[in-house]
Structure 1
C-alpha cells in the first residue's frame, strides 16, 4: 500500500533491516568500485589507520540503500533530489550486522506541482553494538493523494 506525502509527519521514525557484511563482499565491491588497500587486502589494511579490512563507505551506503528500498520505498516514491550530509561515521568490518533507522526531518509541498511533495528523511545505520556507522539525509519526492 503506498505511503503518500500526506501520511508522513516530521518526527515519524522506522527501524528495519538486518544485514551481515561478509569479508568476501567487502573485497568484491572494493575491487570493482573502490580498490584501496584497506578495502581489498587484509594484510595491507593492518598497516592503515583502519588497522584491518573495512568496507568502502560506498558499499555501506549501497547496502543501506537496499534496506531502505526494501522497507520504505513504494509506488508513491518518485525518487529523490539528492542526499545531504552523508557521513561515514565508523568503519564497517567483516561480520558486522547492520540495521537502519529512518526519521522524517522535513516535509513540504511542491509549490508548482500539486501532485508531489518533498519528504526529507535522515537514515542512520548501526552495527550490532548499536554504534552508528553511516548517516545521510535523503531528499525524497513523494506523490500526493489525488484530490477527490
Structure 2
C-alpha cells in the first residue's frame, strides 16, 4: 500500500501500515456561530468572537481559533476510524500557516513518514505522520508532524 491513499473505517494496525501511505478524512464546514461559541469558551480574543471588533484586528475579519481548527482536525481524524484503538499522541509540532474563515470547509490528509515498532513493548509501536488540514481551495490551514502510538494486531 506504499504511497496509496487509504480510507478510514478500516481500523489499521501497525503491521497494516507503510511509509508513504496517505489517508484522508471527511469534511467539516466552519460556521460563524460555531467559531464564536468555541472562542467564547476557550480563546476569547476579539478576532474570534466579534465580526465588528475583528475588523480592526491583525486579521481584519472574524477567523477561527487555531485551537478550534485543531479540535476539528482531531474530530475528523477520530471519525475516519483510520487507526485501531484511536489516535494516541505522544508528540506534536503544529503550525497554522493561514487563518480559517467562516464558510471554510476543512478536511484532513495525512502521510505516514516513519514506522518504529517498539522493542520493549511488542504489542505496539509508533508512527510519525505529517497531517495537513486543508480548506476547500486545498490551502493548508494547519500542519502537524505528530508521533502516534499504534497497536499491533492482537494475536488469537
Of 26, 33, 36, which aligns to 1:27? 36
Q: Matched residues in 1 for 2:143 and 2:101: separation? A: 17
The separation in 1 between residues aligned to 2:125 and 2:84, in whole angstroms, is: 14
Change (3 A) 1:78 1:132: closer
Return the TM-score normalized by structure 1. Answer: 0.92
SS of the aligned residue for 1:123 comes to strand
Confirm or deny that 1:127 pairs with 2:135: yes
User: 1:75 Cα deviation (Å)?
Assistant: 3.5
Supply the distance in 2 between the matched residues of 1:89 and 1:78 (Cα, whole angstroms): 23
Structure 1 residues 37 and 78 mapped into 2: Cα distance closer, same or farther (>3 Å)?
closer
Residue aligning to 2:99: 91
Q: Does 1:67 align with 2:85?
A: no
2:113 matches 1:105: yes
SS of residue matched to 2:76 = helix
Unmatched 5+ residue regions in structure 2? Answer: 1-9
Q: CA deviation at 1:143?
A: 1.0
List aligned pairs for 1:136-147, cutoff 5 A.
136-146=144-154
In the alignment, is residue 116 of structure 1 matched against residue 155 of structure 2? no
**TM superposition score normalised by structure 2:** 0.88
Post-superposition shift, 1:99? 1.2
- Tell me which of the two structures has the higher relative contact order, counting C-alpha pairs closer than 8 angstroms and 6 or more residues apart: 1
* Match status 1:43 vs 2:52: yes
After superposition, the C-alpha distances for 1:71-99 in whole angstroms (9 at most, x for unaligned) are 0444344712121x200111000111111
